Structure 1
Amino acid sequence: MAIGGTGDTLAGIITGFLAQFTSSVDVISAAVYLHSYIADQIYDNNYIVLPTKISQALPYWMKQFEN
């Protein structure tokens, strides 16, 4: 996860979650978990995890975790 922009992607996810939900440690933890989970899923089939791939997969995985 040392590719440039990965931390920016995480910061964006955290900010987006904080804008939608009540600010709490749980909301930040959920954002960090989702970022890491998506990266792990991408890594299963790719040697390099690009931040753009995490951003592209975010809506799909948010929908999966919604239920």
Structure 2
Amino acid sequence: MDSMKITVLSVIVFLLIALEVAMNSYANPHLFLMTVISIFTVVAAGVLVSEVIKGYKQGYKE
């Protein structure tokens, strides 16, 4: 379950970063959208990191 969640989160982070790069190359007027995507990317990456740390801690206990 946890590894599945981590996989899904990493895919989401990757897609958000790819979307951000694509938007950055030819979408200067959409600065608000870029900001929203950036915030989502940071939040998703933070959740991903915390899930990975939680997984390592659980693996250590067992």
TM-score of the aligned structures, taking structure 1 as reference length = 0.39
Q: TM-score, length-normalised on structure 2?
A: 0.42
Larger radius of gyration: 2
Higher RCO (Cα < 8 Å, 6 or more apart): 2
Flag the structure with higher helix content. Answer: 2
